[in-house]
Chain A
Amino acid sequence: MSKVVDPVLMLALLLNFYVVGTSRLHAVINGAALQGAALGILALLMHGVTPLAVLLACATIGIKGIAIPAMLRRAMREASIHREVEPYIDYVPSLIACAVGTGASFAFARGLPLAPQHVGSLLVPSSLATVATGFILLASRRKAITQAAGYLILENGVFIMGVGLLEAIPFLVEVGVLLDLFVGVFVMGIIIYHVNREFASLDTARLSNLKE
């Protein structure tokens, strides 16, 4: 099975590097969206065309691939910003961090015994590497929109594990997770809107009144 699944996971891994290496917010959002949509296809590839898998694939593509990115694009338009400026960690060091994170994920995953159906697949390492990428984006970028996209990618990483466990986890929970994610980013969108209005900027470095 890993023959059909691994190319999709490879795509997810490549998109990690793409979003970390770019300064254009559009590219970051598109990367996260494409990755989310790829996860929907992953569900179909792993579990065949069963009603459950089709439903999950539709929900995933709809929420992660279309709805949430559309919300983030709208926030971007309203704030009329297009680029990440002066990230806390520059692009090349972030790419190196991403590479190190990916390597570490592969090393860590080697230590975990796999179920027979997943032996030799990239499922666990790509999940962990994507979570690590989400962390890097969250920690290294200043714009609220990039941070929200980072959270989305982190969640994608978790979801890769979730897709692999579709039989173990009831459909209801998977959809609950997607719905929560949707509402979560929606609330973030509202807060982003208020941040933009109050601070006339989406730079989270301005959010620094509260500290010791």
Chain B
Amino acid sequence: MAYVLILFPLLFAIVAAIWPSDRSRPWLVTTGAAGQAIAVLFAFQEKRIVGLGGWLVLDSAGKLVLGLTSTIFLVCALYAPTYLRQRSERPNAVFCACLLAFDAMLVVIAEAHHLGLMWVALEAATLCAAPLIYFNRNQRSLEATWKYLIIGSVGIALALLGSLFLAYSELQANLEPSLLFEDLLVQAPHLSKPWLHAAFVILFIGYGTKMGLAPMHTWKPDAYGEAPGIVGTMLAGGVTNCAFLAIVRFFGICHAAGDDQFARGLMMFMGLLSMAVAGTFIVGQRDYKRMLAYSSVEHMGILVVGISLGGVGVFGSLLHMINNGLTKAVLFLSAANIHRAFASKRVEDVSGALRRVPISGALFLCGFFAVTGSPPFGPFVSEFTIVRAAFASGRYGVAAIFLALLALVFVGMGSAVVGIVQGVPSARAEATPFRDEVGTVAPILFALALVLLLGLYLPAPLERLLVEVSTSLGGGAP
């Protein structure tokens, strides 16, 4: 089963690469994603899946990320055929093949229990994403791709250095060197502390670059701004969460070593910094796709703040990973619809989205309310849980800054979103051929329904998984 999950999308990637017809090829992505979703459902029935002699293990944390990325990939894959039909002027062989291969690499990361394998998969995912960002083949997307590649590569090189440092912390302590997470967790109390500290800092910066934490976030607005909505969704909901999973696993090692105070401090600082940077750039942002990128930076900050708070904050943070990922799918895909309807992603060129594309406009508005933490959507519950953790641990200052930054983002995003959805569409916007159709709104509606569901009710199996992971990291359950 561990292999099926990986090989299935990979096989479809190969078929997509050699498939002759641009018209029917996108359906391979859909079929691949649907098949993968079914395989994931079967995999979830088992307590623990092991492959490659322990290098691949699907544990609770892996299940959370795997379930999330597979759902997001399914949403994107349902959206893809209509989108690519509308963009039939561009060949899509590379796009479809890379999208499937990219997804396969995300599955590897979710399952990887070997530091080296995890690294190789993340690097491979980065490389698969480069042609996806360059889909539009213009100067702007080229620039975004180059920045993404260079910054991502540096981050990933640092992640490798950090992995080696972690291995050295075993060597120096005269332990049998192993890069399996199981072994590292067992040996954690005996690891050489100076090396463990250095390793965590470097790993956090390296994987934090992939996650898009400030100040290593600079690739994000460019890549999300220029890439198609599907790619933005897969990056914001897929690869960033996989990088977060990696950081959570390293934090777990520090926790097992009984030495997590210093990791918490670093995470708290970087998390709040990311929220502050995102808030600053969201206010007055004139490009609504870049605005979503900064929203992603903000939410990555929220995730690490939640982990660093401990207690019920860990639970909130893991839940927020799922809520934020699904909400990003709503926002990026509906923004992509609006982008094509108005042929512009400047806030000043776009008004009256609710009239021009009523469903996409409404979805975008709902997505905005969800992502800024308004009830009754999922992110409200998870953000509230994180704030509760801050109050419970008596960190009122953190809670105050956290809430102030959330309010800042709400105001900043709100002023742009209101301008986009309300008013009267320009004559130029009326002239574009784009109309809402089932293929481009139904997948978004599905994602929004999940976000709403998670806000109203937390399914018991999901809650069990969240509690399991949270307690293993020293956190609590609500």
Contact = CB atoms under 8 A, between A and B. Distances in A.
A209 B157 contact: no
A173 B139 contact: no
B145 A177 contact: no
Contacts of B149: 184, 187-188, 191
Interface in B108-154: 114, 116-117, 119-120, 123-124, 126-127, 130-131, 134, 138-140, 142-147, 149-150, 153-154
Interface residues of B, number: 49
Interface string A12-53: 000000000000000000000000000000000000000000
Contacts of B134: 191, 194
Contacts of B179: 168-170, 173
Interface stretch (A66-74, A82-90, A94-102, A107-115): A107-115
B288 interface: no
A183 B119 CA distance: 14
Interface stretch (B56-64, B158-166, B323-331, B468-476): B158-166
B434 to A, nearest CB: 24
Nearest to B117: A173
A195 interface: yes
B116 A199 contact: no
A163 to B, nearest CB: 10
A204 B146 contact: yes
B164 A210 contact: no
Contacts of B143: 207-210
B383 interface: no
A138 B119 contact: no
B177 interface: yes
Contacts of B126: 184
Contact of A114 (B142, B144, B146, B172): B172
B410 interface: no
B402 interface: no
Contacts of A112: 194-195, 198
A207 B146 contact: yes
A134 B194 CA distance: 24
Contacts of B153: 151, 184, 188
Interface in B267-297: 281
Contacts of B168: 115, 161, 164-165, 168
Contacts of A114: 172
A198 B142 contact: yes
A209 to B, nearest CB: 5
A194 B171 contact: no
Given A115-B171, A165-B168, A168-B177, A138 B154 contact: yes
B222 interface: yes
B187 interface: no
Interface string B185-222: 00000001011001000000000000000000000011
16 contacts: A158-B160, A168-B167, A168-B168, A168-B170, A169-B116, A169-B179, A176-B116, A177-B116, A177-B119, A183-B127, A187-B130, A187-B149, A191-B130, A204-B146, A207-B142, A209-B143
Interface of A: 111-115, 127, 131, 134-135, 138, 144, 147, 151, 154-155, 157-158, 161-162, 164-165, 167-170, 172-173, 176-177, 180, 183-184, 187-188, 191, 194-195, 198-199, 204, 207-210, 212
